[in-house]
Amino acid sequence: MSLYNDRGVSAQKEEVHAAIKNLDTGLYPRAFCKMYPDYLGGDDQFVNIMHADGAGTKSILAYMYWKETGDVSVWKGIAQDAIIMNLDDLLCVGVYNNIIFNSTIDRNKKRIPGEVLEQIINGSQELFDGLRNYGIQIRYLGGETADVGDVVRTVAVNGTMTSRWPKRRLITNEKIQAGDVIVGFASFGKCLYESEYNSGLGSNGLTSARHDVLNKYYADNYPETFEPLLNDSVVYIGKHSMTDPIEAGGFLTNIGKLLLSPTRTYAPVLKVLLEQHFDAVHGLIHCSGGGQTKCLKYVPDNVRIVKDNLFTPPVVFNLIQEASKADDREMYQVFNMGCRMELYTDVVHVNAIIKTAAQFGIEARVIGRVEAAEKQELVITTGNGEITW
């Protein structure tokens, strides 16, 4: 993890977890999102959930792509990233409807004009309008847009989601057990509700991807896009330009678009599964920060998670690994590697789950299983062998 750490970021967020170790873990410690009693309604059969996340350093890629090409529409993808990183976390506890969203945008006004803000804000509403077609109601209540050029060099796009949800319809991961199988949902391709090919990258590991893939031209021309205290040896060390053409999944695109693919949401699929097969869903894990090792934080202590049938990683991850020279352990710890959502269930319900995903144009498959063990363990099989955590 040397390059990742040298750039001042951490896939496992060790310091963050240390800082919050004394905080209340909520009603369900294994649940993917923290939940509390119903302070808003005072009903002991409901919980309150508030979640915060954002697009991270992906906004820097959008900034450079916009400056290079003039394509201001890429900022709508950043709006989607900030929203989906919240929404798909909420999906993991069973929430898919009646959600409130507030955005937080911190910009450097000298570099981010009003037309960019319009794309982000209008792009947010367009996404909510599209999700409504699938029965997913998210109310956009505005938020805070601040001009803080002394704090941010370009722009930071974040948001919070709030929901009040019945306890009887929660997924808390407490039902995950030995004998379960894991159904993984592909993060790449072009599903029913996407307008173009999705590389599958999502919104995690973009600091690594950006610096490893792109060349020194971006350091020289956009010094505002990186921390000036970084050693030059880790800053934009790749060989590519963002407009370099590349074929991915049978589609012709370019490097910038590949890295900027808006984070796919699984909300339409999981809404159907949670409504029609709720009892079959033993657990849900969003493979975001921490990549394929994310599950270790949420599964029981006495299980071994075996992932021996993951998807062949799509081209974007091969591109990053080739550029960074990272080993498989680092890649699977930082990136989702083509599988960003995993569902724990029993074997009886596998076919129904896979069939539901296929109806939305999303490939799903059994990627692994849960075994009994004396202590928690994760084993991932890659093309180069097994990795154990």
Every domain of the chain and the residues it spans = 2-196+261-388
pLDDT value of residue 25? 76
Burial (Cβ within 10 Å: 0-12, 13-18, ≥19) of residue 352: middle
Residues composing the chain: 389
What Cα–Cα distance (Å) separates residue 218 from each residue in 92, 222, 237?
Answer: 37, 5, 10
Q: Which uninterrupted H or E stretch holds 162?
A: strand 155-166
Out of 3.10.105.10, 3.40.640.10, 3.30.1330.10, 2.60.90.10, the CATH code matching 2-196+261-388 is 3.30.1330.10
> Tokens standing for 21?
């170790």
DSSP code at position 263? P
End-to-end CA distance of the chain: 14
Look at residues 389, 381, 365 and name the one whose alpha carbon lies nearest to residue 299: 389
Under 8 Å between Cβ of 148 and 325? no
pTM of full prediction above 0.75: yes
For residue 180, give the nearest of 299, 344, 294, 334 by alpha carbon: 344
Where b means 16+ CB within 10 Å and e means fewer, 102-134 reads bbbbbbbeebbeeebbebbbebbeebbeebeeb
Neighbours of 39 (CB within 10 A): 10
CB atoms closer than 10 angstroms to residue 94: 24
DSSP state of 177: -
What is the model's pLDDT at position 23?
64
Query: Cβ(287)–Cβ(203) under 8 Å?
Result: no
Question: Which residue ranges in the chain fall short of pLDDT 70?
Answer: 1-23
Exposed/middle/buried for residue 99 (C-beta within 10 Å: 0-12, 13-18, 19+):
buried
Structure token pair of residue 201:
């990258």
Q: Are strands 377-382 and 385-388 parallel, antiparallel or unpaired?
A: antiparallel
Q: Tens digit of pLDDT for each residue in 220-262? A: 999 999 999 999 999 999 999 999 999 999 999 999 999 999 9
Contacts of 345 (CB under 8 A, 6+ apart): 180, 181, 183, 280, 281, 282, 353
Contacts of 58 (CB under 8 A, 6+ apart): 78, 81, 203, 206, 259, 260
Distance CA 257, CA 73 (A): 11
Answer yes or no: are the C-beta atoms of 365 and 354 closer than 8 Å. Answer: yes
Q: H or E segment at 146?
A: strand 138-147
Q: Give the pLDDT score at 1.
A: 47
Q: How many angstroms separate the Cα of 103 from the Cα of each of 40, 63, 115, 126, 217?
A: 21, 19, 17, 14, 32
Residue 19: the pLDDT is: 61
By DSSP bridging, strand 138-147 and strand 155-166 are unpaired
Residues 352/345, Cβ–Cβ less than 8 Å? no
The Cα 235–Cα 126 span in angstroms is 35
128 vs 121: CA distance, rounded Å: 11
Query: Starting at the edge strand that comes first in sequence, how are the strands of the sheet with 46-54 ordered?
Result: 35-37, 46-54, 155-166, 99-107, 138-147
